[in-house]
Chains A and B, each alone.
Chain A
Amino acid sequence: MGTVETKEEVTFKLNGIDVTVPKGTTVMAAAKREKVAIPHFCWHPGLSVAGVCRFCMVKVKGRPKLEISCNLEATPGMEVDTVSDEVKDSHKWALEFHLANHPLDCPICDQAGECGLQKYYMSVGKYNSQMTEEKVLKPKALDVGDKLVLDTERCILCSRCVRFENEVTKTGGLGIFDRGDRAIIGTYGDEKITHNYQENLVDICPVGAFTSKEFRFKQRVWFLKEKSSICPGCSTGCAVSIHAKPEMETYFRVKPRYDKKVNGHWMCDKGREILSGLDKKERLENSYLQDQDEFSTCERPDMINHLNSLLSRFRGKKISLLVSAQYTNEEYERLFSFFVEKMGVRSIFQWRSKEEKLNDFDGILLRGDRNPNTRGLLDALRKFHILKEVENEFEACLTSSSDLIFAFSPLLSSSFSSFEEDLARLSKLKSCVCLFTTSYQARDYIGFNSLIPLVSFPEKTGHYTNYKGEKRELEGAYPSFIHEGFDVCELVNELDSNIKASLRA
């Protein structure tokens, strides 16, 4: 590690191997770091210790009883065993107790495939159930929030959801009612959970008790691919993974990834909606251009030729860029190195939402700046000696008497409430406007000189810089199912090489 650790450290033995951790680390956390699997349900690294599932038992040499590792601080010289027969037997029985009253309805349960009970049955269970008595029946399919369905029969009462409500959102919307094996999770009275972090309850629920209304019954999870990305929903830029079925050309869901400095373990429900504009039917699939008073589709090479000819026709005229803050650092870099450095473009306008409340913050993750890369855009401009503050310069662009405008529209049109109005106004400009966009709505505005379909954020790699300057990578790119879609960097590269060629000619 590059940083200086001033904290005191302790060394203890984990299954006979010396492990050194900062003082105060629990055996569970140390084991997780060392990739030693200790089964657990109630422990979650983002929540307080409940110590109720009694699954994570380990043996400390010299102590009479097994102990839960989630609440066991590693102390110097401690010898911890997680693999002896005694410990394994405790794990097996803890699982048997968890499953005693579980309905075992995996075939119709959405959690199947990513369920803790299934996972642990295969790793520490594999027993023949001795539970032949009648099971306790509890309420099922409860509507407890606009994004949530609760099945209290599947619930193992690990209390993660209750702690999330108490500690993260601080809304305290859930409680455990009644006691013993009659205990159930629920909301108070008829109240519903309404906050913007509901889907986290689905994520942290280790079983199928909380399922997502949005995702329920849409897809079996083992058919889904996962790729790491960054949520473009606001300037926090939460680390996410995008779950999709590429062969179906469909995105299914977004889940948060752990990022200590950015979002911890969570993300908001608004962020889960980022896939909504990415369905094929909502995307601009083809290039369109004005040709002899007709606005019609064209092939990729035709569009490149068209853009090349525009660039040579407007050489020496006033060319402007209207840019939203939803592109990657790499895209900005490439755009500006071509347009600013090579083409000498100096008039660059920020395209932002009209009703933006820039300084809003919900106290958890969601920020008023609904663009992922405001900071990256300004940083990139600064690099090309264009100094700007955050400002919506849409009006200024319209009145800038530009001869040719390249407009890079927001990729997540849902973050601009005035998006359609803006499109309408742009399309009516006499000056020639080329719109780079993902939105199919743009087709309806036939006044544009050309429409260029783009790939969207799950389909590209690159970086965003969040509100506090953390650069994060969109690591994995799905193949775009918009086959005619352009990648901004590739497109600019082509234009660049054509310019070079024409200069040489």
Chain B
Amino acid sequence: MAEHKILTEFEGIKDSRSLKTYLKHGGYQALAKAFQKKPEEIVALVKESGLRGRGGAGFPTGLKWSFIPAHIKERYLLCNNDEGEPGTFKDRYILELSPHMLIEGMIISAFAIGAHKAYIYTRCEFYEEIKWMNEAIDEAYKAGYLGKNILGSGFDFDLDHYIGAGAYICGEETGLISSLEGKKGQPKVKPPFPAVAGYLGKPTIVNNTETLAVVPWIVNHGASAYKAIGTEKSAGTKLFCISGPVKKPGVYEVPLGYPLKDFIEKEAGGLRDGVELKGVIPGGLSAPVLLPEEVEKVTLDYESMASFKSMLGSGAIIVIPKTQCMVELLKVTLDFYHHESCGQCTPCREGTGWLANIMKTVMQAKAKEDCYDKMYEVASHMEGRTICALSDAAAMPTKAIITKFKSELLNYLRRG
């Protein structure tokens, strides 16, 4: 499936991260093109392309950009490179292949929204990627793509790289902003939304790495070329990262709307020999698990995933083999959210702990059979009740696992 190589264009190319290579392959030409346009034309172009946020929520990018109030001139662009959703390793791949693609995308996006300062927020565990990104930023400054009067356009733009401390919650856009402001990484109550009052109280756009990196391609090839890829409502390609017992785990770029089954079979080479499929978590740990019969039918786009009551999320596909104990899976899932809840909102703070605690009693064979019903009810009341989506992220997979694997969970209890 090498039909569309937008984000993975530099796959297999030697010295792909260097500016020299990037320029040889037409790098920073989109930037020159962008400077020929008015900022609002670029916003319109991105709107028209149908590009949706690649961090998980799938919010239309151009629409997000257009929420900035016209009268406030101090604005910020933040790149969410925290990539904390368990199972996700696709943004780091962009930094591995071509950090300049992200830099170019950020300059164009900043120009479009009128920001003169941007930060990339990267999780601290990405040791190599941090180094590569820093090198690329240095190169870009030296070559005049960053700094004052870029390419003689009169546009000034500074880009900084900020390294987070590894909290899942800092990948939530307002949690990220709090962290960048030097505060405890906690999401902020909305409204106001970041586009109105974000970083330092100024209009701020937070976009995922993949979202920003695709912008140069859209400027180069036009909105309709991008929209022609994928489905009607889910335009373009996306990076999917697959893990679990498949023959070729890794990151693959496919058009949205691509069948999940084909993705597993063709891109990832199918399941390892002798492995039977139990289910697939299609969009990072917080996406509700799909059963094999659902995996047969679902396609990799926002709408199809929603119709199966799951979500495309970050594009992290976790393949679960038949031999996986779902009680253990649920336990580690809930331990994760219990550990990562920031503790601000009561339903999440208490709910994540409560659910994890019940799972502890299950593992210790101290739980009663109605414990799963209780968990389902607790989870139901955590959903949609908090500032950010972490509470939902804990509740959704819990409910899905309880619904779809109830008999296995009960058998675990009966086994004693």
Q: Report the contact-size class of chain B (Cβ under 8 Å from the partner).
A: 20 to 34
B347 touches A97 (CB 8 A): yes
State the majority secondary structure of interface residues on A: loop
Task: Report Cα–Cα, A263/B340, bound state, in Å.
Answer: 41
Query: Given A51-B387, A66-B385, A90-B385, are A131 and B346 also a contact pair (CB < 8 Å)?
Result: no
> Within 8 Å CB of B184, what residues of A?
176
Bound CA–CA A78/B53 (angstroms)? 30
Chain B at the A interface: mostly helix, strand, loop or mixed? Answer: helix
**Which residues, 96 to 112 on A, are CB-close (under 8 Å) to B?**
96-98, 100-101
B344 contacts A by Cβ under 8 Å: yes
Q: Which residues of B contact A136 (CB under 8 A)?
A: 353
For residue A93, CB closer than 8 A to chain B, the reply is: yes
Whether a CB of chain A sits under 8 angstroms from the CB of B333 is: no
Cross-chain contact A54 with B189 (CB below 8 angstroms): no
Give the chain A neighbours of B203 by CB distance below 8 A. none
Chain B residues contacting A89 (CB-CB under 8 Å) are 381
Does B358 belong to the interface (CB within 8 Å)?
A: yes
Nearest Cβ on chain B to A288's Cβ, whole angstroms: 61
Is A57 interfacial (CB 8 A cutoff)?
yes
Is B350 positioned at the interface, with any CB of A under 8 Å from its CB? yes
B304 within 8 A of A: no
Interface residues on A, range: 35 or more
Contact yes or no, B385 A57, CB < 8 A: yes
Does any Cβ of B come within 8 Å of A179's Cβ? yes
CA distance A94 to B349 in the complex (A): 11
Known contacts A55-B346, A98-B346; A65/B381 CB under 8 A: no
**Chain B residues with CB below 8 A from A73, complex form:** 191
Q: Check B384 against A180 for contact (C-beta < 8 Å).
A: no
Q: A101-B353, A180-B353 are in contact. Are A52 and B344 (CB under 8 A)?
A: yes
Q: Are B384 and A52 in contact (CB under 8 A)?
A: no
B354 touches A100 (CB 8 A): yes
Number of A-B contacts (CB under 8 A): 92
- In B321-366, the 8 Å CB interface with A consists of 338-347, 349-354, 357-358, 360-361
Q: Does B233 contact A (CB under 8 A)?
A: no
Partner of B349, one of A66, A71, A180: A180
B374 interface residue (CB < 8 Å to A): yes
Chain B residues near A93 (CB, 8 Å)? Answer: 347, 381
Are B387 and A53 neighbours in the complex by a CB distance under 8 Å?
Answer: no
Contact: A180 with B339, CB < 8 Å?
yes
- In the complex, chain A residues whose CB is within 8 Å of the CB of B347: 54, 93-94, 97
Q: Are A134 and B343 in contact (CB under 8 A)?
A: no
Contact A157 B349 (CB under 8 A): yes
Contact A98–B350 (Cβ < 8 Å): yes
Please give the residue numbers on chain A whose beta carbons come within 8 Å of chain B beta carbons, in ascending order.
49-55, 57, 65-66, 68, 71, 73, 89-90, 93-94, 96-98, 100-101, 130-131, 133-134, 136, 156-157, 176, 178-183
Can you add 10 more A-B contacts, CB < 8 Å, to A54-B386, A55-B346, A94-B346? A54-B346, A57-B385, A68-B189, A89-B381, A94-B347, A97-B381, A98-B350, A157-B349, A179-B341, A181-B338
